Amino acid sequence: MSDNQKNLNEIKKFRLEKLKFLKDNNIDPFPHNFDKNNNIIEIKNDSKKYENHDISIAGRIISIRKMGKSSFLNVKDMSGKIQVYTNNQNLSNDEYDLVVRKLDIGDIVGIKGSVFYTKTQELSIKANKVELLSKNLHPLPNMKEKDGELFFSFDDKEQRYRKRYLDLIINDDSRDVFISRFNIINSIRNYLNINSFIEVETPVLQPVYGGANAKPFTTYHNSLDQNLFLRIADELYLKRLIVGGFEKVYEISKNFRNEGMDKNHNPEFTMLEFYSAYSDVYDMMELTEGMIKNLVKEMKLEVNGIDFKKNFDVFSFFDVLDKYSNIKISEMNTKEIHSVMKNNNIPLDKTYGYAKSLDKAFSFFVEPKLINPTFIINYPIELSPLAKVERNSNGKIVERFELFMNKMEIANSFSELNNPIDQKERFLAQQKLKDSGDEEAQVLDNDFIEALEVGMPPTGGVGIGIDRLVMILTNKKSIKDVILFPAMKNEHSNT
């Protein structure tokens, strides 16, 4: 690859020559620190206060206009950008000739000087000290802009994901997404903390994986001499903590699932799970709705087409399925549902049982309609092996909700099954599915059963896919846009 980058190598060669020039003149191109006293945004927001005052800023040069004995630099820090004016009179000790004339776009500089307005009334800094803080050796993509609009922008999605640091330097929108992501997680964390939840950490490397139906990644520990699995969910460990006497716990962490990738799926993704003892699924609904409303309000988010202000809708699984399909699917058997699927061109596999078929029908008829936040409750037991039976039902319905918005499922919650005998039977049923070839079926976890035998209080639990929530709240269509370094295949197969 490097051999056919002659032009790039030439640019690097020139930069290296500049490095040498600086060193020959006793200028360290990579000094150890800089006394940065001001963020650029402060100066811009309060320009009257700073006019004619001394300030010091630092940041990356995003454009240069060299004009012989004077030069303009546009410098960008985390907070904003500002123009810097330099000339060979205001700088001391040949600084203009030795430093400024050698500057490149992409260099990181420290600037000391005073705030003033140019002839065209642009707020600027007249530099009396320009210090190179880090030399750019690899050129940046185009950064020409006018009135905040980029020209020839850095647009190639693949390169933006692979070289996220360039994306962040150049595309403010991209950086803002990750600041929003931070704020969203921060708001959630505060909300849970205020509600007396304790944040915990449970193992990523697990001898037995569980808590969801998914294919795991496997790895190997040398000194234990045993295989380990990367977690697919936090669930079983968090419930052990409820057994242990923690009454409210949560964890925000990466899960890993060895499955397909698309705009809604990354092999590692961030999940929030929280569990509350002596609570049921309806308590968790209230808590979840409060959490999301609080965060939308706190962040003053404007989300396209979604109304977070009114109370979230609550529909029963079968009611809403019958309503949107205009058929009494709730009264049908597997065979009848299959024929409905055929009539609507829903992809059908003959191995689909009752539960799977219902799930498919729901995805087809109902999910596309769920734009505003909507709780779906009263799921059929066949779809919900970890949930308690609904207290007033005939045993065919469980206490569970899923929260949908913008056609996506973003939360899943149960009144958690705490009967160890029942739980063991359900594990064994999963084991049978696994033996007959279902790679995503769950594995019997004897230690977890033993924990339930010790006794777990009635507990409500919720899982929320953070990446998807961030997608919705930042109006992004791909999960890759809300993950800093999304999974990508090697660019060249033999590297």
> Which are the contacts of 352, defined by CB distance < 8 A and separation ≥ 6?
334, 338, 360
> Which are the contacts of 384, defined by CB distance < 8 A and separation ≥ 6?
398, 400, 414
> Which are the contacts of 343, defined by CB distance < 8 A and separation ≥ 6?
none
* Piece in contact with RNA (CB under 7 A), picked from 82-90, 199-207, 286-294, 387-395: 82-90
Number of residues engaging RNA in binding (CB under 7 A): 82
Cβ proximity to RNA: between 336 and 359 the closer is: 359
Answer yes or no whether residue 94 interacts with RNA by CB under 7 A: no
Q: One-letter amino acid identity for 172?
A: D
User: CA separation (Å) from 413 to 259, 272, 400, 455, 486?
Assistant: 22, 12, 5, 20, 27
In the β-sheet with 374-380, what is the strand arrangement from edge to edge? 198-199, 248-256, 268-277, 459-465, 408-415, 397-405, 374-380, 313-316
Cβ proximity to RNA: between 65 and 221 the closer is: 65
Q: Choose which of 46, 51, 155, 422 interacts with RNA (CB under 7 A).
A: 155
Answer yes or no whether residue 253 interacts with RNA by CB under 7 A: no
Answer yes or no whether residue 474 interacts with RNA by CB under 7 A: no
* Piece in contact with RNA (CB under 7 A), picked from 22-30, 146-154, 189-197, 414-422: 146-154
Answer yes or no whether residue 367 interacts with RNA by CB under 7 A: no
Cβ proximity to RNA: between 256 and 451 the closer is: 256
Bin 404: left if φ > 0, else alpha if -120 < ψ < 50, else beta.
Answer: beta
* Piece in contact with RNA (CB under 7 A), picked from 178-186, 259-267, 316-324, 454-462: 259-267
* Piece in contact with RNA (CB under 7 A), picked from 207-215, 297-305, 315-323, 374-382: 207-215
Count CB neighbours of 36 within 10 A. Answer: 16
The alpha carbon of residue 312 and the mean position of all alpha carbons in its chain are separated, in whole angstroms, by 24
Q: How far apart are the C-alpha atoms of 126 and 118, rounded to whole Å?
A: 10
Residue with tokens 């699995």: 229
Q: Are 29 and 135 in contact (CB under 8 A)?
A: yes
Q: How far apart are the C-alpha atoms of 449 and 208, rounded to whole Å?
A: 13
Q: Choose which of 277, 417, 468, 482 interacts with RNA (CB under 7 A).
A: 468
Q: Are 110 and 58 in contact (CB under 8 A)?
A: yes
Answer yes or no whether residue 146 interacts with RNA by CB under 7 A: yes
Cβ proximity to RNA: between 151 and 165 the closer is: 151
Answer yes or no whether residue 465 interacts with RNA by CB under 7 A: yes
Sign, CA dihedral 48-54-60-61, equals positive
Q: Are 378 and 396 in contact (CB under 8 A)?
A: no
Cβ proximity to RNA: between 175 and 453 the closer is: 175
Nearest-approach distance from CB 388 to RNA, in angstroms:
19
* Piece in contact with RNA (CB under 7 A), picked from 4-12, 44-52, 201-209, 276-284: 4-12
Q: Choose which of 39, 56, 83, 419 interacts with RNA (CB under 7 A).
A: 83
* Binding flags for RNA, 314-353, as an x/- string (CB under 7 A): ---------------------------------x------
Q: Choose which of 39, 47, 56, 70 interacts with RNA (CB under 7 A).
A: 70
Q: How far apart are the C-alpha atoms of 81 and 147, rounded to whole Å?
A: 12
Q: Choose which of 6, 309, 310, 335 interacts with RNA (CB under 7 A).
A: 6
Q: Choose which of 36, 164, 356, 424 interacts with RNA (CB under 7 A).
A: 356
The residues with which 412 forms a beta bridge, in sequence order, are 402, 463
Residue 449 backbone phi and psi in degrees, to 5: -60, -45
Answer yes or no whether residue 39 interacts with RNA by CB under 7 A: no
Residue 251 backbone phi and psi in degrees, to 5: -145, 135
Answer yes or no whether residue 257 interacts with RNA by CB under 7 A: yes
Answer yes or no whether residue 493 interacts with RNA by CB under 7 A: yes
Answer yes or no whether residue 87 interacts with RNA by CB under 7 A: yes
Nearest-approach distance from CB 129 to RNA, in angstroms:
16
Q: Choose which of 49, 144, 221, 297 interacts with RNA (CB under 7 A).
A: 144
